[in-house]
Amino acid sequence: MDTPHQLYEINDMVKADCGDCKGCFSCCQGMGESILLDPYDVHLLKTHLHKTLEELLESHLELNISEGMILPNLKMQGKEETCGFLDGEKRCSIHAFRPGLCRLFPLGRQYQDNRLFYFMLKDACAKENRSKVKVKKWLGVPEIKDYQEFLILWHDFRRDFAQAGDGPGEEMVKSRNLFVLNQMYGKDFETSEFFGEFAQRVAEVRKGLG
Ligand code: SF4
Ligand code: SF4
């Protein structure tokens, strides 16, 4: 039986700080379809890169099905299977607005009783001798409380969507998925009010899905 991992909250110290990665880019390579993007990630990419979802899908992202839902993920590209956002020096070219899963690594997230916990992913980071850092500093998201509430809301939405998705036939499943993809990722949010607007959007989409 697996040993339960130690759980942390945002004000806890955790041995995650890999000292700026220094030449290592192993978690930006060969990650398959696993670096899923949430609506906030795509909102940041669209805003900073001045691109639409369609344009991002033509370059750095792709769509796949994860737990019954069509979601965008970072596309691994070329012979080396690297993320397209790595620059010539193998550094992240979008570091300031990189996706949430990139910020999190080598931590994982766990949702429990409407709360969010963090844990060290076993054998995930190639760097030895990592230093301790506060979880919230590691994530580096300014509006951390709003961000965490957003993550829980999004997690709950995905769970409910997956649970409701079994019945109505292939065409209906596809059209429900495309509706959600367009509302949550395609349609723009106002930059300054993302988190508030996202909560409203979730309520509207839930209504639209019936
Ligand atoms: S977005 Fe940046 S940190 Fe994330 S996988 Fe791509 S290059 Fe690496
Ligand atoms: S494996 Fe660790 S050191 Fe290497 S890029 Fe990822 S987080 Fe940085």
Pocket test for ligand 1, best of 92, 103, 125 (most atoms within 8 A of CB): 92
Does some domain include residue 7?
no
Number of domains in the chain: 1
pLDDT at residue number 166: 61
Over its C-alpha atoms, the chain yields an Rg (Å, rounded) of 18
Angle 165-107-119 from CA coordinates, rounded to 5°: 85
Structural domain includes residue 102: yes
pTM over 0.85: yes
Report the alpha-carbon distance of residue 138 to residue 98 in Å, rounded.
13
Please list every protein residue whose CB sits less than 6 Å from any atom of ligand 1.
Answer: 28, 35, 74, 83, 85-86, 92, 94, 98-99, 102
C-alpha to C-alpha distance for 19 and 51, rounded to whole angstroms: 31
Closest by CA position to 102, among listed 148, 37, 199, 186: 37
Pull the structure tokens for residue 93.
């070219």
pLDDT profile of the chain (210 residues), mean per 10: 79 91 89 97 97 98 94 97 95 96 95 95 84 95 95 96 75 89 95 90 93
* Residue of 14, 15, 22, 27 to test ligand 2 pocket, by largest number of atoms within 8 Å of CB: 27
Residue 26 belongs to a domain: yes
Ligand 1 centroid vs 168 CA: distance in angstroms?
A: 37
Tell me, yes or no, whether 2 lies in a domain.
no
Residue 101, domain extent: 13-209
In a domain, 182, yes or no: yes
Ligand nearest to the CA of 27: 2
Which residue type is seen at 142? P
CA of 42 to the centre of ligand 1 (A): 13
What pLDDT score does 1 carry?
47
Residue nearest to atom 2 of ligand 1 (CA): 92
Give the per-residue pLDDT at 170. Answer: 77
Q: Which of 119, 183, 115, 180 is nearest to 149 (CA)?
A: 115
Which ligand sits closest to the CA of 25?
Answer: 2
Residue 6, in any domain of the structure:
no
Q: Which ligand is nearest to the CA of 93?
A: 1
Residue 78: inside a domain: yes
For the CA of 106, the closest atom of ligand 2 is 7
Question: Could you tell me if residue 180 is inside a domain?
Answer: yes
